[in-house]
Structure formats: structure tokens, C-alpha cells
Copies of this chain bind each other. A is one copy, B any other.
Amino acid sequence: MKITSSVSDIRKIVLNWKGRGLSVALVPTMGFFHGGHLALMRAAGSKVDRIVVSLFVNPAQFGPNEDLNRYPRDFERDAGLAEDEGVDCLFCPDARDMYPSGFQTWIRVEGLSQGLCGASRPEHFRGVATIVAKLLIIVQPDIAIFGQKDFQQLQVIRRMVSDLNIPVNVIAHPVVREPDGLAMSSRNIYLDTRERESALSLFQALRLAEEMVARGCRSGPEVVRAVRKHIQSYNKTKIDYVFLGDPKTLKQKQDIVGETLLALAVWVGKTRLIDNTLLNSNEQIKLQNINIR
């Protein structure tokens, strides 16, 4: 596995592959790999000839009071895990190269960035859209794979790629979960034993909502109420949002008619966790049955 922090190096590496007719995937990450990241790498490997994983803790997507400095990092471990997954190149640029002195160009996906996580993290998606555009323009992959846990991020990126005519196929990967259902996240490491128990309330609340819909409930407010009640029954939880709406436009919906996104953001102690599921989706493989490793 090649490891480079240089923009011109990664360009040369990918150009060389493309010149030989090889297809390329990019898996953008902030490192501290867990099973979710590894699943994205594995999915990439099943679709293309060469896998690039970018590892960059992007300062622009953290707010001033967020966890940029304490965000977990372990480069040696990450490099080992990526190599084990058959990754061909690990691209880990420097912040000074990504945001050099005088940097001032920002990409906004206006509507989709506003609600949900955008409401409590006002510049977050500007940072995400800008760095992902840069990485796609630098690496020029045929496909790029993103986890569906960050559902709003996925839709922001899909819209940006389409609006800016970036020639890449954006692929979503289902949420990967711990054996008990907790969505995998680098931030789970922040949780102490009791918080870890409370963190399970997100997954359980999603499953509760799925069961309500399976039993015929179509009332958004009723589902949201039940979800809130369930989460609040746990210690140290504080709900940021419980959102029910259209998965494409991210506009709120009253009734659960057609495919409907149920997305959650919950503080557990000092850790903000997110999770989501698609209700009423024909294509949906139910949460109970998937990705429980």
C-alpha cells in the first residue's frame, strides 16, 4: 500500500492507474477506522480495481466549540487496517496543503445543508462539501463511497456532485452496527460504560418506529412522540432533533407516505450521536437483519 500526503503524488498514482485502464474508488474518511470504514473499503474493493482511502480530519467541518482537537487519531493502526483491507493508496494530506494561507473558496449546498445537523452545526456542511469537492477533483475517482449513517452528508454530496458536474458515481453504504445495534462511529470511543448503554436508545428508537409503521401507523407526530419518549427514558440523553421527512429533499413530512427518512441526533453526555433509517421503503432491508456483525 502506498502512503502519500502529496496532492501531486496522488494525482500521478491515479493517472498511472487510469492510463492502464484500471477503475478507481475513493473512500473519504477522517480516520480512526472502525467496522463502518472497513465495510466501505471492502465494498469499494468489490466494485473497482484500485482503492484510494483519504484520511483527513477536516478542520473546516468542525464548529468552534466542537471536538476537532480531541477527535480520535491513530495513524499507525489506521494504515495497518487499510492495508489489511487491500487498500492501494492512503492519501493523508496536511491541513496546510488543503487550506493554505489565503484560502477563501467555499462550496455551499444551500437547502439541504440547513435543517437537521445543519441547524446546530451551521458551517459543518460547507466544510464537508468543500473538502469532498477538493478530494474528488484531486483524486478523480470513478466511484466514491459514503456511509449512510451520515445521511444528510450523503444527500449534500450527491447534490453537489450533480450540480457541479463532477464525474463520479456516488455510492451509499448501509449503516454498519455493533452487535447490539449501535451505529459504528469514531465518536463512540468517547462514551463511558453508562453512556454506552444510553447510546443504544437511538437504534432501539429507530426499531420502535419501524415496528409502529409495520403495524400500520402512518402518523409522523405519533412516531416522533414515541421515539422521543423512548430516547428520553435513558440516562444522560438530550435530543438535538428527531426528524421525519423526505429522504431526497430533507423536507419535513407529516404522514409516513412513501419512503420516509427518520433521522436522529442525540447528545449522550458530551457526545453527539446520529443515526437514521428509511421507513416505509420497499427496498429497505430491515434494521434487525442487516449489518449486525
Query: Interface readout for A92-119 with B: 1 if CB under 8 Å, 0 if not?
Result: 0000000000111111111110000000
A92-149 CB contacts (< 8 Å) to partner B: 102-112, 129-130, 133-134, 137-138
Q: Give the docked Cα–Cα distance between A215 and B137 (Å).
A: 48
- A183 part of interface (Cβ distance < 8 Å): no
Pairwise interchain contact B106-A107, C-beta atoms closer than 8 A: yes
Of the listed residues A104, A129, A130, A167, the one surrounded by the most CB atoms of chain B closer than 10 A to its CB is: A104
- A175 part of interface (Cβ distance < 8 Å): no
Pairwise interchain contact B137-A105, C-beta atoms closer than 8 A: no
- A69 part of interface (Cβ distance < 8 Å): no
- A165 part of interface (Cβ distance < 8 Å): yes
- A166 part of interface (Cβ distance < 8 Å): yes
Instruction: Tell me how far the C-beta of A123 lies from the nearest C-beta in chain B, rounded to whole angstroms.
Output: 12
Query: Interface readout for A1-28 with B: 1 if CB under 8 Å, 0 if not?
Result: 0000001000100000000000000000
By a CB distance below 8 angstroms, the chain B residues around A166 are 137
Instruction: Tell me how far the C-beta of A139 lies from the nearest C-beta in chain B, rounded to whole angstroms.
Output: 10
Which segment of A35-43, A156-164, A282-290 sits at the interface?
A156-164
Q: Give the docked Cα–Cα distance between A104 and B112 (Å).
A: 8
Tally of chain A residues near chain B (CB < 8 A): 27
Pairwise interchain contact B110-A163, C-beta atoms closer than 8 A: no
Which residue of B has the minimal Cβ distance to A103? Answer: B163
Instruction: Tell me how far the C-beta of A253 lies from the nearest C-beta in chain B, rounded to whole angstroms.
Output: 17
Q: Give the docked Cα–Cα distance between A147 and B19 (Å).
A: 34
By a CB distance below 8 angstroms, the chain B residues around A103 are 163
Which residue of B has the minimal Cβ distance to A111? Answer: B104
By a CB distance below 8 angstroms, the chain B residues around A164 are 105, 107, 130, 133-134, 137
A25-77 CB contacts (< 8 Å) to partner B: none
Instruction: Tell me how far the C-beta of A142 lies from the nearest C-beta in chain B, rounded to whole angstroms.
Output: 13
Q: Give the docked Cα–Cα distance between A253 and B159 (Å).
A: 41
Instruction: Tell me how far the C-beta of A24 lies from the nearest C-beta in chain B, rounded to whole angstroms.
Output: 16
By a CB distance below 8 angstroms, the chain B residues around A159 are 102, 104-105
Which residue of B has the minimal Cβ distance to A161? Answer: B105
Pairwise interchain contact B7-A165, C-beta atoms closer than 8 A: yes
Q: Give the docked Cα–Cα distance between A112 and B102 (Å).
A: 10
List 7 other contacts, CB 8 Å, given A106-B110, A130-B164. Answer: A11-B167, A104-B159, A105-B108, A105-B110, A105-B159, A137-B137, A137-B164
13 contacts between A and B (CB under 8 A): A7-B165, A104-B159, A105-B107, A105-B108, A105-B110, A105-B160, A105-B163, A106-B107, A107-B107, A107-B164, A130-B164, A137-B167, A138-B165
